[in-house]
Structure 1
């Protein structure tokens, strides 16, 4: 059995106390993230699902959503997407009227482009201000259509995370 010198124990205690203080300070400013499961469902801006529209992609998105102060933050990862391809990622805040658009730049919508690498993987982080009255948010990942206004590939979260 190896003995740890007294000076080493004191240094380890100081490091552990510092890490603990930093962790608890960080936890006070940000809430725990919500895991966001995705499915191949095409949704309207009010979270209602389009009927009779089937998925065509093989990508596997995953994500986490959290609130940090007055911002909503999403971390989205994509695996097995098309290599070297842009995907549009949006965080859409709720409640939202069915007639209200949710395009990039609209109130309550954070947008970023995720570019996949040579094997179809990628990640992006989004941050946007929480709009007044927002109670939740969900995530949409789409690959723009080449010959139509409907996306060629789409994935949306199965739930609306509370803000």
Structure 2
């Protein structure tokens, strides 16, 4: 009986501690926008429309997602800077196109290279399958956030061979 009572008190204490941490913002995973350290965002093997919504369809030939990576997004004055890190040890020397997309965007807008409110650069993995690139753009009027897309061109299709996008839109 005493064991059950002490377990009950322990469980209540854990619930109170967890509720307090949530109420006071403990365990926050990202930095505040505009801070010197920036916001670290994981990359996901998720295809998205240019308005950041997920696509509801898959390419006819599913791609193999072998890379892992992250991006640190920060502001520097009136610019936004994204440092992209990608590792794909199965495909050393591979080339990827990296885009920095400013949001919001209408769902009908394009966001490929040359589209308004986008900036693109290339990322080439080294012989160990690791690559880093920094991409920067001026923050356009009306921009509330940015996200990153990384895609490996497919020589046999308009769909990319691989695609990775930011886990969330980072406020700027």
In the aligned structure 1, how far is the partner of 2:109 from the partner of 2:56? 19
Determine which of 68, 93, 100 is the counterpart of 1:84: 93
Q: What are the ranges of 5 or more consecutive residues in structure 1 without an aligned counterpart?
A: 1-28
1:153 maps onto 2:162 in alignment: yes
Residue in 2 that maps onto 1:66: 74
Residue in 2 that maps onto 1:22: none
List structure 1 runs of 4+ shifted beyond 4 angstroms: none
1:125 maps onto 2:134 in alignment: yes
1:37 aligned counterpart, secondary structure: strand
C-alpha offsets along residues 11-53 of structure 1, whole Å, 9 cap, x if unaligned? Answer: xxxxxxxxxxxxxxxxxx9643011111110011100111242
In the aligned structure 1, how far is the partner of 2:111 from the partner of 2:158? 15
In the aligned structure 2, how far is the partner of 1:100 from the partner of 1:122? 29
Q: Is the contact made by 1:107 and 1:131 (CA closer than 8 Å) also made in structure 2?
A: no
1:75 maps onto 2:83 in alignment: yes
In the aligned structure 2, how far is the partner of 1:58 from the partner of 1:43? 18
1:51 maps onto 2:60 in alignment: no
- TM-score, normalising length: structure 2: 0.74
The CA RMSD measured in Å over matched residues stands at: 1.6
2:83 aligned counterpart, secondary structure: strand
How many corresponding residue pairs?
135
- TM-score, normalising length: structure 1: 0.78
Residue in 1 that maps onto 2:40: 35
The alpha-carbon deviation at position 87 of structure 1 amounts to 0.2
